[in-house]
Amino acid sequence: MRKIFSAPSGILLLTMVLGALLAPVLPLQDPLAMDMSGRFAGPSANHWLGQDDYGRDLLSRLVYALRGAILISGSSAVLAAVIGISIGVIAGYVRGFSEMLSLRIMDVILCFPPLLLAMLAATLYGAGPQTLVPVLALVFVPSFTRVAHASVMTVRAMDYVDAVKLMGAPSRRIIFRTILPNVSGPLFVQFSFVVAMSVVLESGLSYLGLGVLPPEPSLGMMIGAARATFLTEPWLLLAPCILLSVLILVLNAFCDHLRHLLDPRRSAGS
Amino acid sequence: MTMTQSSAAPLLQVSDLAVSFRKDGQWRNVVRDMNFSVTAGETLAIVGESGSGKSVTSMAVMQLLPRVSTRITGKVLFQDRDLLALGEPEMEAVRGNRISMIFQEPMTSLNPVMTIGAQIAEAIRVHRPVSKAEARALALEMMDRVHIPAARSRYDDFPHQFSGGMRQRVMIAAALACKPDLLIADEPTTALDVTIQAQVLDLIKELQADTGMGVIFITHDMGVVAEVADRTLVMYNGDVIESGTTAQIFATPQKTYTRALLSAVPKLGTMGGTPHPLPYPVFDMQTGTMTELPLRGDTLQSDAKPLLEVTGLSKRFEVKSKILKRVVARVHAVEQVGLMLRRGETLSIVGESGCGKSTTGRLLTGLYPSDSGRILLDGRELGKIPANERARDIQMIFQDPYASLNPRLRVGEAITEPLRIHKLVPRKDEAEIAERLLERVGLQAQMADRYPHEFSGGQRQRICVARALVMKPKVIVADEAVSALDVTMKTQVINLMMDLQQEMGLGFVFISHDMAVVERISHKVAVMYLGEVVEMGPRAAIFSNPTHPYTRRLLSAVPVPDPARRGQRSAPPILELRSPLRTSDYRHPVRRYLEVSQGHFVQEPGPEWT
């Protein structure tokens, strides 16, 4: 555990995630409390990063927006990973008709541009996290299925899988104890990619007003709202942009680091 | 045969060559003080085990090593030009033109999406200002020269339509298309079957006699060295430890390592009249002494009831049409095979790649379901034995020690995995069992905590043996278990297997294409060809009186590691190994077997053998 979070990306991510999760108990201003007299006010003792167009505390809104982004994209990525990897591994291990069927279904999902699919769902079922999470999950299931399936096909041809079969191991054990650990590398990379992608997609949808509903803060919505006052108050636009970029970069760096650690060929030696 | 022209100026003169690689910021010396020369028409062999630096040397001569992470010092004079001083464009004019190279793996060194003919023609057009039509004519001529049958009609075939031996011929044709002065052959026959190897060696010799080119032959196989080389260079761990004419090296090796290498070479016909399998002599690298192991009693328990009894075993793989999924043809991988194995017995299955020997092994262990036939394992039908009990009866050792261990399991965990699967012992006892087994196979107990990638190929294979033993099986199927190992490792692993057989009364099914090893280790031998057993009998009978034409061909192709007897081996005629792919309505002919002597059965050769 210590090794995992010792890297710079690990420390940063841990800080961001902890900050986001602990937001309700942190001594932050209420992100929704408006203060018309403090519109566009600069940093002060009460509002460290200043206030926005409704006089709300920027720091508090950023932290809560980060919390929303992490919760929504994290849970949709986990959901997509569980479903996608299960389908991919089973398809790759069992082969035959079920493999063909599940891969073709994934191809169909992949035919829809992700943003379009999400907009359609948001229009039909209404915006908000309860739509956002399943839609984002659905969009990213095929990518997990494909990566899992391709990796399983490679690993299952290895002699060590035959060796475990000869030991009389049941299929469940072969899948969970022999195949899954050996396909985890590419799947971790995929996971980092998907979390980052869904952060982008979530903020994009929120920017369009189809994601997180106001007055709840969201990075995309904050960027959208700050557009109008960009020339006079650029900080209101830049702050959520910077946070969004840092979050995505940190996510990618951390997952690379994790994959590195999980590979016995690298961690042991030198 | 070419003579060493000592008076002629050398074609290639390498002096004080040293190569270092940078790894993790440190320079590591991998080749030191290389000095050698090759004259026109001469063949120089560079021998050594994996990691000795023999391939690195050739890559350095060709300037094929990545420049940023490699440091090369010394001189490589080729036709009085120092190759190390040449820039990349000048080097490109030399590579493939004046110096050509062929590699070990003909599968990966040909472009899969380009036709055979186009690849040879391309090699010509890179260096010669010829038209497409002229290049095609020259390519066809080269294909004839390397004896590719029906060259004209195969010009537009793709590499996957060629067998391994034919692909290597294509590689040679492309390498020699520009009539180079020097050919560097890096393990060109290692991946090939013996009969194909013999043909390729003959081909290189023939082309050398025609063109007078110099040849550098890189190999680990002393048998091949004896067959082709005028002079030999022995490398160990980056140093040249001995060099001289091949006859000298073989007759009076000066260095301990050379002697070890020579004595470790499995030779055919070393068994004399020994009635049962014989372990290899143990060679001490420090003192240079060779100790013959004491003769032991036979391990075979002939009175016991058979461990494995196989009758009429068949396996076919269906080839289906793309769209309608109709069966258009079948590969008759294994056809009507019958075998018998008793306690303490070693049955070898030999044959060339594609003959069905590996499939047979997988059928015996139940990894593949059989289509027909009966496999009785210790008196019970294989298919009816529950998986956990079957694991205690039969285990397998695979060919590639790098693919057969789970890279994510520590070796201790890997060895005891079967025990965990069936919950046979309490968790706390597992470590002790793993340690004991590691020691039993000649490794150290504290290695249990390491991961497979920290071990060499030979050590990994020992770990695989330990894993196969943990369930105390009665039968072990060893599928080319020592083929991927260096000679010294090979003999050690074989001796280990024989020790274990002695101790535990194991029955081995030893699947191999290496006739010399088979002669040493087996009680009984079955020769397979196109999915069928064509000859089977006691080891002595098969080797002293090979009766089926195919068995004779197989035995005559084995290189003899003795330069004095060079040329006595007759290469079999060039013949594409026929394929066991049959049409869907094919009915297998009924085969008759003749009993030549007691227990020695030979299939009546079909019309294709006469």
The region of weakest confidence among A7-11, B105-109, B347-351 is B105-109
Does B354 have pLDDT greater than 80? no
Pairwise CB contact (< 8 Å): B421 & A181: no
Dihedral pair phi/psi, residue B398, rounded to 5°: -95, 170
* A168 to B396: CB separation less than 8 angstroms, yes or no: no
CB neighbour burial string for B167-186, b if at least 16 within 10 angstroms, e if fewer: bbbbbbbbbbbbebbbbbbb
pLDDT digit string, tens, across residues B246-268:
999 988 888 888 887 787 776 77
With CA atoms as reference, report the closest residue to B35 among B75, B72, B5: B75
Query: What would the 3-class secondary structure string for B401-448 be?
Result: CCCCCCCCCCHHHHHHHHHHHCCCCCHHHHHHHHHHHHHHCCCCHHHH
Picking from B37, B35, B5, the residue whose alpha carbon sits closest to that of residue B17 is B35
Question: Is A11 part of any domain?
Answer: no
pLDDT digits (tens, 9 = 90+) for B476-513: 999 988 887 877 788 888 988 998 898 888 999 999 98
A12 inside domain: no
Q: Are B206 and B1 in contact (CB under 8 A)?
A: no
pLDDT at A270: 30
Q: Degrees (nearest 5) of the Cα angle B418, B420, B424?
A: 90
- pLDDT value of residue B18: 92
Token pair in block for residue B198 = 């013999």
Give the closest of A168, A178, A265 to B391, CB-based. A168
DSSP state, residue B324: T
DSSP-derived secondary structure for B186-227: ESTTTTS-HHHHHHHHHHHHHHHHHH--EEEEEES-HHHHHH
Which DSSP letter does residue B131 get?
-
Inter-chain CB proximity B407 and A264 less than 8 Å: yes
Residues of A in contact with B387 (CB under 8 A): 168-170
CB pairs under 8 A between A and B: 72
Superfamily of domain B12-98+180-264: P-loop containing nucleotide triphosphate hydrolases (3.40.50.300)
Mean pLDDT for chain B? 85
Q: Which residues of A touch B464 (CB under 8 A)?
A: 163
Q: In what order do the strands lie in the sheet with B81-82?
A: B26-38, B12-23, B70-78, B81-82
Chain B residues contacting A via beta carbons under 8 Å: 24, 362, 365-367, 386-391, 394-396, 398-400, 403-408, 417-418, 421-422, 450-451, 453-454, 464, 467, 471
Residue with tokens 């060629």: B162
The model's confidence at residue B163, banded by pLDDT at 50, 70 and 90, is confident
Query: CATH number for the domain including A202?
Result: 1.10.3720.10
Phi, psi of B22 (to 5 degrees): -95, 125
pLDDT, tens digit (0-9, with 9 covering 90-100), for A53-65: 777 888 888 899 9
Q: With a cut of 80, say whether residue B575 has pLDDT above it.
A: no
pLDDT at residue A210 in the model: 83
Residue of B391, B408, B453 with shortest CB distance to A167:
B391
Subunit contact B404:A163, Cβ cutoff 8 A? yes
Q: What angle do CA B349, B600, B576 make, to 5 degrees?
A: 50
CB B75, CB B17: distance < 8 Å? yes
Site from B26, B322, B382, B421 to mutate, A interface, most A CB atoms within 10 angstroms: B421
Partners of B109 in the β-ladder? none
Q: How many CB atoms lie within 10 A of CB B136?
A: 18
Across the interface, whether the CB atoms of A166 and B417 are under 8 A apart is answered: no
By Cβ distance, the residue of B394, B404, B422 closest to A160 is B404
A163 at interface of B, judged by CB pairs closer than 8 A: yes
What is the C-alpha separation between B430 and B417, in angstroms, rounded?
Answer: 9
Q: What six digits make up the tokens of A139?
A: 């969009």
Alpha helices for B146-193 (secondary structure H): 151-154, 164-176
> What SS3 class is residue B506?
coil
Does B406 contact A164 at a Cβ distance shorter than 8 Å? yes
- For B115-139, how does the pLDDT look when each residue is reduced to its tens digit (9 = 90+)? 889 999 988 888 888 999 999 999 9
Of residues B24, B386, B407, nearest to A270 (C-beta): B24
Q: Name the residue of chain A whose CA is nearest to B391's CA.
A: A167
pLDDT for B1: 39
Q: How far apart are CA B457 and CA B398, in angstroms?
A: 12
Q: Which of B47-51, B425-429, B528-532 has the lowest mean pLDDT?
A: B47-51
**Do the chains contact at A159 and B450, CB–CB below 8 Å?**
no
Predicted pLDDT at A49: 79
Cβ separation of B388 and A269 shorter than 8 Å?
A: no
* Predicted pLDDT of residue B5: 44
- CA-nearest residue of chain B to A267? B451
Neighbours of A74 (CB within 10 A): 17
Give me the sheet containing B394-397, strands edge to edge: B394-397, B475-479, B507-512, B346-350, B524-529, B532-538, B600-603, B593-597
Q: Does A166 contact B365 at a Cβ distance shorter than 8 Å?
A: yes
A50-53 long-range Cβ contacts below 8 angstroms, 24+ apart: A50/A235, A52/A222, A52/A225, A52/A226, A52/A236, A53/A225, A53/A226, A53/A228, A53/A229, A53/A233, A53/A236
A100 contacts chain B (CB < 8 A): no
- What is chain A's mean pLDDT, rounded? 85
Q: Is the pLDDT reported for residue B25 higher than 80? A: no
The shortest C-alpha distance from B23 to chain A (Å) reads 11
* B58-103 pLDDT tens trace: 889 988 888 888 889 999 999 888 988 888 888 888 888 899 988 8
The predicted structure's pLDDT at residue B524:
93
**What value does the mean pLDDT take over residues A68-82?**
93
Q: Over the Cα atoms of chain B, what is R_g? A: 26
- Name the least confident of A84-98, B176-190, B323-337: B323-337
Chain B residues within an 8 Å CB radius of A166: 365-367, 391, 394-396
DSSP state of B564: G
Distance of residue B381 Cα from the nearest chain A Cα, in angstroms:
16
pLDDT tens figures, A221-257: 888 888 888 888 888 888 899 999 999 889 888 878 8
Percent of chain B at pLDDT above 90?
Answer: 28
Residues paired with residue B215 on neighbouring β-strands, in sequence order: B43, B183
**B417: chain A residues, CB-CB within 8 Å:** 164, 167, 169
A261 touches B at CB < 8 Å: no
Put simply, the answer to whether B398 touches A163 (Cβ < 8 Å) is yes
Nearest CA in chain B to A164: B418
Nearest CA to B524 out of B537, B508, B507, B506 is that of B537
Q: How do strand B308-320 and strand B327-341 relate by DSSP bridges?
A: antiparallel
Residue in B237, B176, B220, B171 with CA at minimum distance from that of residue B29: B237
Question: With an 8 Å Cβ cutoff, are B391 and A270 in contact?
Answer: no
With CB atoms and an 8 Å threshold, state whether B454 touches A169.
no
Mean pLDDT on B556-580: 66
**Chain B within 8 Å of A96 (Cβ-Cβ)?**
no
Q: How far apart are CA A254 and CA B580, in angstroms?
A: 52
Under an 8 A CB cutoff, do B24 and A158 touch?
Answer: no
Instruction: Look at residue B258 and give its three-state secondary structure.
Output: helix
> Coil, strand, or helix at residue B71?
strand
**ipTM passes above 0.95:** no
Tell which CATH classification among 3.30.1370.60, 3.40.50.1370, 3.20.20.370, 3.40.50.300 matches the domain B308-404+473-545+580-609.
3.40.50.300
Query: Does residue B44 carry a pLDDT above 90?
Result: yes
Nearest CB to A168 within list B24, B390, B406: B390
| Residue A87 confidence (pLDDT) | 94
| Whole-number Cα distances in Å, B266 to A270, B270, B560 | 37, 9, 10
Domain presence at residue A102: yes
**DSSP one-letter code for A174:** I
Residue A207's pLDDT band, with cuts at 50, 70 and 90, is confident
Domain boundaries, chain B: 12-98+180-264, 114-179, 308-404+473-545+580-609
**For residue A270, what is the nearest residue in chain B, using CA coordinates?**
B24
Q: Could A268 and B398 be called an inter-chain contact, meaning their C-beta atoms sit closer than 8 Å?
A: no
Q: Are A255 and A237 in contact (CB under 8 A)?
A: no
Interval B275-299: pLDDT, tens: 778 787 776 666 666 677 766 667 7
Bridge partner residues of B19 (DSSP):
B31, B72
Give the structural domain span for A165. 51-267
Interchain pair A160, B405: CB under 8 A: yes
CB-based contact A162 B398, cutoff 8 Å: yes
* Model confidence band, residue B311 (pLDDT cutoffs 50, 70, 90): very high
Nearest to A182 among B366, B386, B408 (CB): B408
- What's residue A1's pLDDT? 55
Q: What is the dihedral of CA B224, B230, B233, B234, to 10 degrees?
A: 40
Q: Chain A: nearest CA to B395, how far in angstroms?
A: 6
Q: How far is B453 from chain A (nearest CA, A)?
A: 6
Summarize pLDDT for B196-242 with one digit per residue, the tens: 788 888 888 888 998 899 999 998 888 888 888 999 999 988 889 99
Chain centroid to CA B446? 32
- Does A176 reside within a domain? yes
Q: Which of A101-110, B323-332, B439-448 has the lowest mean pLDDT?
A: B323-332
Give phi and psi for B162, each to the nearest 5. -105, 150
- Number of structural domains chain A divides into: 1
Distances (CA, A) of B513 to A200, B352, B377, B579: 57, 6, 25, 18
How many of the other CB atoms lie within 10 Å of CB of B109? Answer: 17
Q: Count CB neighbours of A227 within 10 A.
A: 10
Asked if the model's pLDDT at residue A267 lies above 50, the reply is no
